[in-house]
């Protein structure tokens, strides 16, 4: 109990999470009179990262960095415009579709919101859309990043929960499409209720050229998904192939990346990777301390006392993770919460792959909700908007997200049907 | 004296950033070469994944140390931002001290562990190279982290320094 208490107090008062997790473990070892195990902490930290699955993290991050640097989003925007730019509120759909396509390449919601806010919001405002609505569509689109494969959240869940990453990638496809449809419905209703500017295609020099230029990067996630589904490659190998493709596109095809950009790109990948893998290492050691203390068993017992319904349990998980996500970055929530809560989910008979989708969706909401939501802050800064008005414009999209989350929780086959079909 | 301490801190930060770039580029090259050789020439590099994992582990702890140096370790700063100025500073200073104590304890036990005879003779099953070198990266990183934290504690005006490009 002292371990859990010290962990939550240190976490809430602002000790860095990496240190908080170490502190929690040290407190446990001391109060359980297991100080003799202290010198084994280093090998425990080492061992928690000694997994091949983790190698996919820097590789997919590299793909995102290379494509981002290569001006991917403006190409995708032009390609999306060819398809949906002519509808009423066309640019809002273009924004959403560009986000859905970029999601499968960038895989990071915050990076996506940051890039798309700079690209789409000024264009939409210029065409007569409200700034709040434009930013809200951009933020909503950003939420697709971590669910549409290849998704970083899924890789991390796979490593932390010891689940096959390929099955998790495939499980994210239908929920991702459902959310895109949900957001499109919100745009459609907004168009009817408050009126959106008529559709007008952006000026294209050559539609065919725009399509080829925009859809070429789409080959990357396609190759990744096909190779993984076909069982030809592991996620790590697919990540390596994707980085080679991204490098060739940026370096030789688009010529937007030069040799002197590479140190910065590798540096950014190193820093972002260390943030995640550092937390995975310490969370794994802390999870070991918590299991020693019997916290997961206590949690199962406590939740079983409240409900025996798996659906109600999933609702409780949604609430807990969304609340945590309001104060903590999504990946950290995932790393901290999964080892504690997964045993409870399994005891309720919930499929661990479905649970991965559920927990990924829940962590996403925190990205765009006050007080900490980083996506909200990025959009606020980019569009120079106050938090209140931006969050108000985001509410319809959040409602659509909640409805989709409810549907996915009620019908697990939305997550599990495709992996089942593929034999994963 | 403080100036020299800060300069040493900056040098270590730059060294960490440089190592991070080197490690990530090596990891990418090894894994890309492995996939190409395996898929197109049916000639996989037998040591690729093990070495890549060792590189990732080294990059993780060197990266965390760099994150500590640049003040970018993830934390819930809600209370710190809500608190008024003098209380926020005090709380931050207390947290820095707690972090220093945790890291110092970690350094002590990590040093004790790495000096054990059985750790010195541990070899990798694939490459037959001693694992001591890879383990040592963790211990050295813990010392770097402690140093960065020590500098944060003794330098009251020290703020997040951002990236330290080479």
Domain-embedded: residue A363: yes
- Whether A8 maps to a domain, the answer reads no
Q: How far is B130 from chain A (nearest CA, A)?
A: 15
User: Cβ contacts (< 8 Å) between A264 and chain B: which residues?
Assistant: 165
Distance CA B19, CA A159 (A): 25
- If one counts the domains in chain A, the total is 1
> By residue range, what is the domain housing residue A73?
21-27+45-421
Q: What pLDDT score does B14 carry? A: 95
Q: Is the pLDDT of residue A171 over 60?
A: yes
Question: CB-based burial of residue B99 (10 Å sphere; 0-12 exposed, 13-18 middle, 19+ buried)?
Answer: buried
Task: Please judge whether A26 and B105 are an interchain contact, meaning their C-beta atoms are less than 8 angstroms apart.
Answer: yes
Question: ipTM of the assembly?
Answer: 0.91
Out of B59, B78, B112, name the one closest to residue A274 (CB): B59
Confidence of residue A274 (pLDDT cuts 50, 70, 90): very high
Contacts of B166 in chain A (CB under 8 A): 263
Please report residues of B whose CB lies closer than 8 A to that of A45.
61, 138
Pick from B79, B102, B134: which is nearest to A23 by CB?
Answer: B102
Report, as an integer, the average pLDDT of A305-311: 86
Is the CB of B53 less than 8 angstroms away from the CB of A40?
Answer: no
Q: How confident is the model at residue A424 (pLDDT cuts 50, 70, 90)?
A: low
Are A3 and A287 within 8 A, CB to CB?
no
| pLDDT level of residue B159 (50, 70, 90 thresholds) | very low
pLDDT in tens, A189-213: 998 888 777 766 656 556 777 777 7
Residue A36 inside a domain? The answer is no
Rounded to an integer, what distance in angstroms lies between the CA atom of residue A299 and that of residue A4? 12
Query: Counting beta carbons within 10 angstroms of the beta carbon of residue A306, is it exposed (0 to 12), middle (13 to 18) or buried (19 or more)?
Result: exposed
Does a structural domain hold residue A39?
A: no
Does position A2 have pLDDT exceeding 60, yes or no? yes
Q: Which residue has the higher pLDDT, B44 or A82?
A: B44
Measured between alpha carbons, how far is A267 from A33 in angstroms, rounded to an integer? Answer: 41
Question: Quick one: pLDDT band at residue B160, thresholds 50, 70, 90?
Answer: very low
Of the pLDDT bands very low, low, confident and very high (cuts 50, 70, 90), residue B110 is very high
Q: Is the pLDDT of residue A330 over 90?
A: no
Query: What values do phi and psi take at A45, rounded to 5?
Result: -65, -45
User: CA of A139, closest CA in chain B: separation in Å?
Assistant: 22
pLDDT in tens, A56-93: 889 988 888 887 777 777 777 777 777 777 777 788 88
| Domain presence at residue A396 | yes
- Report if residue A37 sits inside a domain: no
Supply the pLDDT for residue A107. Answer: 61
List B residues 17-76 in contact with A (Cβ-Cβ < 8 A): 17, 20-21, 23-25, 27-28, 31-32, 34-36, 38-39, 49, 52-53, 56-57, 59-64, 66-68, 72-76
- Which residues between 74 and 103 in chain A have a beta carbon less than 8 angstroms from any beta carbon of chain B? none
Average pLDDT, chain A: 83
Share of chain A above pLDDT 70, in %: 95
Tokens for A258, please give them: 């030069």
pTM (2 d.p.): 0.82
């Amino acid at each position: 109990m002292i371990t859990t208490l010290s962990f939550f107090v240190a976490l809430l008062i602002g000790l860095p999470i990496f240190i908080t997790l170490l502190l929690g473990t040290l407190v446990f070892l001391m109060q359980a009179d297991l100080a003799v195990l202290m010198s084994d902490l280093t090998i425990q930290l080492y061992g928690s990262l000694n997994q091949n699955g983790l190698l996919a993290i820097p590789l997919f991050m590299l793909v995102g960095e290379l494509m981002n640097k290569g001006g991917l989003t403006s190409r995708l925007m032009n390609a999306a415009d060819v398809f949906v730019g002519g509808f009423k509120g066309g640019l809002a759909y273009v924004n959403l579709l560009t986000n859905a396509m970029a999601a499968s390449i960038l895989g990071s919601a915050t990076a996506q919101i940051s890039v798309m806010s700079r690209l789409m919001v000024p264009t939409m405002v210029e065409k007569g859309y409200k700034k709040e609505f434009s930013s809200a569509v951009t933020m909503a689109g950003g939420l697709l990043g971590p669910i549409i494969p290849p998704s970083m959240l899924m890789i991390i869940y796979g490593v932390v929960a010891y689940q096959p990453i390929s099955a998790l990638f495939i499980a994210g496809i239908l929920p991702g499409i459902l959310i895109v449809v949900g957001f499109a419905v919100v745009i459609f209703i907004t168009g009817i209720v408050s009126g959106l500017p008529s559709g007008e295609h952006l000026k294209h020099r050559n539609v065919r050229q725009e399509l080829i230029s925009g859809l070429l990067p789409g080959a990357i996630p396609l190759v990744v998904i096909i190779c993984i589904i076909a069982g030809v490659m592991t996620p790590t190998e697919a990540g390596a192939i994707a980085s080679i493709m991204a490098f060739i596109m940026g370096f030789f095809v688009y010529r937007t990346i030069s040799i002197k950009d590479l140190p910065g790109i590798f540096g950014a990948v190193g820093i972002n990777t260390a943030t995640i893998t550092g937390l995975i290492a310490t969370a794994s050691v802390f999870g070991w301390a918590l299991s020693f203390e019997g916290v997961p068993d206590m949690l199962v017992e406590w939740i079983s006392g409240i409900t025996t319904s798996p659906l109600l349990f999933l609702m409780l998980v949604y609430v807990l993770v969304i609340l945590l996500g309001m104060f903590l970055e999504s990946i950290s929530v995932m790393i901290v919460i999964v080892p504690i809560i997964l045993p409870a989910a399994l005891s309720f008979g919930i499929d661990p792959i479905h649970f991965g989708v559920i927990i990924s969706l829940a962590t996403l909401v925190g990205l765009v909700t006050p007080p900490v939501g980083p996506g909200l802050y990025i959009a606020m800064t980019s569009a120079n908007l106050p938090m209140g008005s931006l969050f108000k414009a985001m509410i319809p999209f959040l409602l659509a997200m909640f409805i989709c989350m409810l549907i996915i929780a009620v019908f697990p086959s939305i997550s599990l049907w495709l992996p089942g079909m593929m034999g994963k | 004296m403080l100036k020299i301490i800060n300069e040493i801190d900056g040098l270590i930060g730059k060294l960490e950033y440089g190592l991070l770039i080197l490690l990530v580029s090596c990891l990418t090259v090894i894994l890309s070469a492995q996939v190409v050789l395996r898929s197109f020439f049916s000639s996989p590099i037998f040591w690729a994944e093990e070495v890549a994992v060792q590189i990732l582990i080294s990059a993780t702890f060197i990266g965390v140390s760099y994150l500590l140096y640049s003040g970018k370790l993830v934390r819930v700063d809600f209370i710190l931002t809500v608190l008024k100025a003098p209380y926020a500073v005090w709380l931050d200073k207390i947290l820095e001290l707690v972090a220093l104590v945790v890291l110092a304890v970690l350094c002590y036990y990590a040093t004790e562990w790495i000096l054990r005879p059985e750790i010195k003779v541990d070899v990798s099953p694939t490459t037959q190279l001693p694992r001591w070198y890879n383990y040592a990266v963790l211990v050295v990183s813990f010392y770097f982290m402690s140093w960065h934290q020590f500098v944060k504690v003794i330098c009251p005006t020290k703020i997040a320094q951002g990236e330290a490009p080479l």
